[in-house]
Amino acid sequence: MGELRGARCGVNWGERVIQSDDFVRRSIAEIHGIIREVGWGRAGWEDVTRLMAKILPGSAASIVNYDLTRPSVSAIFATGVEPEYLDSYVSYYVERNPWFDYWGNLPSGKVGVTERDYPSRTFSDTEFYCDWLSRQPHLQAGAGVRIDLDPRKTIFIAWNYEVASAFGYDAPAAAILEGTRTAFREAVQAAHILGERLEGRSRLGHLIEHIDGAAMLVTRDRCVREANVRATKAFAEGSVLTCAENRLGVRGCQPQKRLDDMIQRVLNGVLPEETETFIIGEHVISAVVTAAPNPHASEASLLVPPVPLALVVMKRLAGGAVALDDASLRAAYGLSAGECRLCGLLLNGYSIAEASTMLGVTEGTVRQRVKAIFQKTGTHRQGELIARLAGFTTTVGGLGSENPTPIWE
């Protein structure tokens, strides 16, 4: 508590009077008490932030679970920040927060003070400051402590207040956080264990086993949590899918990147479902990615919620030598004989350059024909066209075209 002796004592901040060591001791005891109640399930993390904001009148307090690798927010509890500002921070400004240059390098368990170490005025020309922080003066200074759980789970306990209040608030805030950081660490570690236990109970094997195709539940970084029998066989075969070190892989750099992007967009909530068609060797593969059901989605009180999972389902549309039903394709879309032949080459996985050689025309001519085919078939991308053409095959590697069987039996 000795660091408080250089601060002003008996300064009136609203209804509370900060009186050095005694004030700090009482505040630590109050926070310890509420953290204990959180541990027993009789209080929530928002009760902790409400108490902290009350201890330093006019301040704001937050407890945030960050994934600093992105960065993004997995869970947040805050008092003293208007809901619309909180929402905009989570959805947009978290990636633009210059304070991460400081907080991101602060050792776990160490208490930091912004006005002493990294004042907000040093980044006053940034988008974050001009459009978000400047509109909330009571957040422009603060103290905090960082607690690391794993590379993707970092808890920040932050206490923010006006720069003008920093002279009277910095020392007591830092001292209180020093006195409570062990209790906070134990509490968030308990929350981490709870999240992992809930995640373990959320097994969906009974669901994915009945899905028509190779179905897998994967994390954001493609760690496979569950896979049905078809997916397991596909991993063993290795012609399209791999599972090295328990990470889902797809043969080919471009298909891999596209699948990664699909998983990220779904788990980021950009789209509820993503559908793509890949050409991998002689295989034409459809991939559908959706967010997996979360039985604990209503558990808003969880500081460390179960890891969100994506459901990836892959099916073979075609494989091996594929023949098109030219008559049906012409009747449906009015394609010429040359356009039908080009469609057959594309469906069998040939590139634009290879198709130009086989057809005896330039690559430019092939590209023009592809554009004409897009227009006639109402498609916009080659993958979309391949998926459309798969319905006009006469042989699909021995599979019926009307109801393609799963990619691996």
| pLDDT (tens digit per residue) in 92-139 | 999 999 998 888 888 999 999 999 999 999 999 999 999 999 999 999
Confidence of residue 324 (pLDDT cuts 50, 70, 90): confident
Give residues with Cβ within 8 angstroms of 295, minimum separation 6.
Answer: 201, 202
Note whether 188 and 304 are within 8 A (CB).
Answer: yes
pLDDT surpasses 70 at 360: yes
Residue 89 exposed, middle or buried by CB count within 10 Å (0-12, 13-18, 19+): buried
Instruction: Note whether 76 and 47 are within 8 A (CB).
Output: no
For range 376-388, the mean pLDDT: 82
24 CB neighbour count, 10 Å cutoff: 23
Backbone CA torsion sign across 124, 127, 129, 135: positive
The per-residue pLDDT of the chain, averaged, comes to: 81
Q: Tokens for 213?
A: 């195709």
pLDDT reported for residue 14: 40
Task: Report all structural domains of the chain as residue ranges with CATH numbers, in order of start.
Answer: 2-199 (3.30.450.80), 205-319 (3.30.450.20), 322-396 (1.10.10.10)
The answer to whether the CB of 150 falls within 8 A of the CB of 67 is no
Q: Where does the pLDDT of residue 409 fall: very low under 50, low under 70, confident under 90, or very high at 90 and above?
A: very low
Q: Which helix (H) or strand (E) holds 368?
A: helix 363-377
Q: How far apart are CA 120 and CA 118, in angstroms?
A: 7
Residue with the bigger pLDDT between 405 and 102: it is: 102
Instruction: Please give the distance of CA 36 from its chain centroid, rounded to a whole number.
Output: 31
CA distance 132 to 374: 45
pLDDT exceeds cutoff 90 at 159: yes
Mean pLDDT confidence for 157-173: 94
The pTM is what? Answer: 0.56
* Average confidence (pLDDT) over 156-160: 95
pLDDT of 394 reads 64
Whether the predicted pLDDT of 315 surpasses 50: yes
DSSP state at residue 57: T
- φ and ψ at 149, to 5 degrees? -105, -50
Q: Please check the confidence at residue 407 and state whether its pLDDT lies above 50.
A: no
Q: What share of the chain is helix, strand, coil (3-state, %, to 5)?
A: 45, 25, 30
pLDDT-derived band at 405 (thresholds 50, 70, 90) equals very low
As beta bridge partners, residue 65 has 75, 155
Contact 161, 138 (CB under 8 A): yes
Length of the chain: 409
